[in-house]
Amino acid sequence: MTVALHLDTHVVVWLYAGEHDRLPPGLRARMATEILRISPMVELELTYLHEIGRLTEPSARILGELDRSIGVRLDDTPFADVVATAGRMAWTRDPFDRMIAAQAVATASTLATRDETMREHLPDTAVWD
């Protein structure tokens, strides 16, 4: 299990779009030095957002570019472990948020997210600084 900085979907989208100024300076500094990972659920959410027209680029292009440019990679924690962790997260009904948060918790990693609900319920895991 690799301890890393996990990125929420909106962080991935902003990075790909070159909107780095939307990220707090402290978070940008951490991203320059830490191992960067995403949940496979981020990839699925990007696919969904592309399908409904909210993103113009497919997930493979976005993630391929971020892998090449800053080393963002999929976390490979076993799905059963992530689901078991997600089963204890009754604070959200959003399956994307639940699985993305569970992936970070299951790996004892930090989750970079602007989402206030995630940060409220996961104060030791979710950050925006």
Q: Check residue 2 and give its pLDDT.
A: 63
Q: Provide CATH code, domain 5-127.
A: 3.40.50.1010
Q: How confident is the model over 36-93, as pLDDT tens digits?
A: 999 999 999 999 999 999 999 999 999 999 999 999 999 999 999 999 999 999 999 9
pLDDT score at 44:
98
Among the listed residues 31, 27, 62, the one whose alpha carbon sits nearest the alpha carbon of residue 44:
62
Residue spans per domain, the chain? 5-127
For residue 1, is pLDDT > 80?
Answer: no
Q: What pLDDT sits at residue 46?
A: 98
Number of neighbours of residue 116 by Cβ within 10 angstroms = 10
- pLDDT > 70 fraction of the chain, expressed in percent and rounded: 98
Query: For the chain, what is the total number of helices (H) and then of strands (E)?
Result: 7, 5
Q: The whole model's pTM is what?
A: 0.95
Distance of alpha carbon 1 from alpha carbon 57, whole angstroms: 31
Q: Could you tell me if residue 39 is left (phi over 0), alpha (psi between -120 and 50 degrees) or otherwise beta?
A: beta
- Eight-class DSSP state of 107: T
Cβ atoms 126, 89 nearer than 8 A: no
The pLDDT, as a whole number, for residue 3 is: 79
